[in-house]
Amino acid sequence: MHTVYVIAGGLLLLGIFVLFARALRDVPAARRRQLLLAFFPVWLACAAFNLWVGVARAGYPLADELPIFAVVFAVPAAVAYWCWLRQARGGD
């Protein structure tokens, strides 16, 4: 269940990035797309922190946590990529 919560947190963070990019109507579209790209390293750091907590604090082996890390990072990153593509095509 924790994994679902972390993914939901990633989607919420992405929503903040998207809303902020939409609020910047007077900024060129290329800059708004860069803001969406900034989500990736931020979310990677958050997902890596979750991985560290699972290994260092909860005591799970790294081999067990790596697939979870991949899913936790990939789901919000895929949605972010879709949002970025939509922005690149001129959609809103």
How many whole angstroms separate alpha carbon 46 and alpha carbon 75?
Answer: 13
Report the number of secondary-structure helices (H) and strands (E) in the chain.
4, 0
DSSP 27: S
For 90, phi then psi, to 5°, come to 95, 5
Strand, coil or helix: 58: coil
Statement: residue 2 has pLDDT above 70: yes
Cα(60)–Cα(20) distance, integer angstroms: 36
Could you report the per-residue pLDDT of 41-80, keeping only the tens digit for each? 999 999 999 999 999 999 999 999 999 999 999 999 999 9
pLDDT tens-digit series, residues 13-52: 999 999 998 898 888 888 888 888 999 999 999 999 999 9
Cβ(21)–Cβ(80) below 8 Å: no
